[in-house]
Amino acid sequence: MPDNRRDISRREFIRLGIAGGALLFLPQLPSSAVAQEYKGKPINGMMLARLLGSDALPDPFDFIFCADVHIPFDDRGVFKKIISAANDLKVKFVLIGGDTVQVGNPANFTLLQRELKKFNMPVICAMGNHDTAFEDYADQREWTVRFGASCYKFDLPGVRFIALNNANHILSDADYDLLEESLETDLKKVVFMHRPANFLNVRYDTPMRDDAGRFRSLIEKGGATAVLTGHEHHHAVYKINGVTHIVSGGAGGRLTPDIENNFHHFMLISAGKNTFDYRVEKI
Ligand SMILES: [Fe+2]
Ligand SMILES: [Fe+2]
């Protein structure tokens, strides 16, 4: 773990609205000082510090969700168009659901970080299987040293976001523990991670493994509003037992053949205490 990370105090947790999110590490910097400075610091922690330290968000607030950029391949400059759209739309932040790079090596992450700096707002990334060493999905060192924790939660007006890591096929016990505890709130609950659940579409070759149905049981009993994922390079929305599953794998990776809605796109989402609206923006 890099020296510049530290456990943040309870007071800071409360100030930043992430009390209990003990798996998240944040740098000791005022939000004004962290804008676009990533070098040697966990990107997700800095981005969250910017987001949570900025002026109060409206309710509802707008954000973009997308996944599967696969830098350096970024098919047809799709990701550059998403950057432009995010800046034009002035969304409050962007969530990227993993596979930011084709293989998680220093060269690709350097290219990615160059692109992330072009966003005018915080960008928070989940870990995808391509963000690992790839020949070994369990080797997640390159991503972790850059982005920090992969399992945490944060609260925005009316909405709790829960980040999980299923890059290596499954959720860990730490992910399940965080999910279970984080669902105990009256806020809307939005889960984001890379692989989609295993009960959505029989055409999905490598969804998250969950033979015991633990994930499904937790999100349905816990009243999750939505689960945002990518991995499958197409677009789909499934509404099952009160949970909206959005698969948005269209941010630049080569599109999956022989499946419906295989177009490049991002999701524009409006969320708040009484709101969860979304629309797909084709590119
Ligand atoms: Fe992908
Ligand atoms: Fe993937």
Distance 73 CA to ligand 2 centre (A): 14
Q: Quick one: how far is CA 160 from the chain centroid?
A: 13
Distance 5 CA to ligand 2 centre (A): 28
Distance 75 CA to ligand 2 centre (A): 15
The C-alpha angle with vertex 18 and arms to 31 and 197, in degrees rounded to 5, equals 115
To 10 degrees, what angle do helices 214-221 and 173-182 make?
Answer: 10
Q: Is the model's pTM score more than 0.75? A: yes
Ligand nearest to the CA of 70: 1
Structure tokens at 149: 């924790």
d(Cα 209, Cα 206) in Å, to the nearest integer? 8
CB-based neighbours (< 5 A) of ligand 2, an ion: 99, 128-129, 231
Distance 249 CA to ligand 1 centre (A): 7
Distance 102 CA to ligand 2 centre (A): 9
d(Cα 70, Cα 62) in Å, to the nearest integer? 25
Spatial CB neighbours of 223, under 8 Å, sequence gap ≥ 6: 183, 189, 242
Q: What is the CATH number of domain 10-282?
A: 3.60.21.10
What burial letters (b/e) apply to 174-205, b meaning 16+ CB within 10 Å? ebbebbeebbebebbbbbbbbbbbbbbbeebe
- For residue 168, the one-letter residue type is N
Distance 35 CA to ligand 1 centre (A): 28
Distance 70 CA to ligand 2 centre (A): 9
Distance 169 CA to ligand 2 centre (A): 10
d(Cα 235, Cα 215) in Å, to the nearest integer? 21
Ligand nearest to the CA of 250: 1
Distance 130 CA to ligand 1 centre (A): 7
CB-based neighbours (< 5 A) of ligand 1, an ion: 68, 99, 253
Distance 98 CA to ligand 1 centre (A): 7
Ligand nearest to the CA of 102: 1
Q: pLDDT tens digits for the chain (283 residues)?
A: 333 323 333 333 333 333 333 344 433 333 333 334 455 679 999 999 999 987 778 999 999 999 999 999 876 799 999 999 999 999 999 999 999 999 999 999 999 999 999 999 999 999 999 999 999 999 999 999 999 999 999 999 999 999 999 999 999 999 999 999 999 999 999 999 999 999 999 999 999 999 999 999 999 999 999 999 999 999 999 999 999 999 999 999 999 998 999 999 999 999 999 999 999 999 9
Distance 272 CA to ligand 1 centre (A): 29
Q: What is the pLDDT of residue 210?
A: 96
Ligand nearest to the CA of 251: 1
Cβ proximity of 252 and 70 under 8 Å: yes
